[in-house]
Amino acid sequence: MSLAEGDKAPDFSLPATGGRTVSLASLKGKPFVLYFYPRADTPGCTKEACAFQDGLPEFSKLDVTVIGVSKDSMKALEKFAEKYSLQFPLASDPEAEVINAYGAWQEKSMYGKKYMGIERSTVLVDAKGKVAKLWPKVKVAGHAEEVLAAVQALG
């Protein structure tokens, strides 16, 4: 990951589910969580999204926005959000510009073939727009709870 804790969060503006647009400018002065996942409606990505959805009341109490980001089309994201009743925004980054800026576009390997893809990772940005915490190579189990604990630690 090229991004480091303490860095200024890279600028972004992306279309998101529910007719929303998510951007660094609109989140100014508020902490937020960006989590990057490979593909909507796959087993790991579904578990992760549902875990963030389950934690949403706690994130909301702390006035923290959770945003999921992938290269999926808006149509795929809307379908995914509806299927699992996901209330938080899922943003579409088909060109992987934001994904790359946040260090989640990585070389991966499957069956000996190398390719570029999204590494499951999460970034917590504080109210000052600085990277407060990074989670590269995320394991889904317990991750949303770990992110919530980091948000609570921001105070």
Give yes or no for a contact between 8 and 130, defined as CB atoms under 8 angstroms apart.
yes
pLDDT of residue 2: 75
The model's pLDDT over 47-58, given as tens digits with 9 standing for 90+, comes to 999 999 999 999
What is the share, in percent, of the chain residues with pLDDT greater than 90?
95
Q: Is the pLDDT of residue 1 over 70?
A: no
The model's pLDDT over 32-51, given as tens digits with 9 standing for 90+, comes to 999 999 999 999 999 999 99
The model's pLDDT over 50-106, given as tens digits with 9 standing for 90+, comes to 999 999 999 999 999 999 999 999 999 999 999 999 999 999 999 999 999 999 999
AA identity, residue 60: S
Give domain limits for the chain.
13-17+29-154
Find the catalytic residue in 9, 27, 34, 45: 45
**DSSP state letters, the chain:** ----TTSBPPP-EEEEGGGEEEETGGGTTS-EEEEE-S-TTSHHHHHHHHHHHHHHHHHHHTT-EEEEEES--HHHHHHHHHHTT--S-EEE-TT-HHHHHTT-EEEEEETTEEEEEE--EEEEE-TTSBEEEEE-S--STTHHHHHHHHHHHH-
What is the share, in percent, of the chain residues with pLDDT greater than 70?
99
Q: What are phi and psi of 97, to 5 degrees?
A: -70, -45
> What confidence category does residue 113 fall into, taking pLDDT thresholds of 50, 70 and 90?
very high
pLDDT of residue 155: 72
pLDDT of residue 90: 98
pTM score of the predicted model = 0.95
Q: Active site includes 45?
A: yes
Mean confidence (pLDDT) of the chain: 95
Q: Is the pLDDT of residue 146 over 90?
A: yes
> What confidence category does residue 110 fall into, taking pLDDT thresholds of 50, 70 and 90?
confident
Structural domain 13-17+29-154, CATH architecture: 3-Layer(aba) Sandwich (3.40)
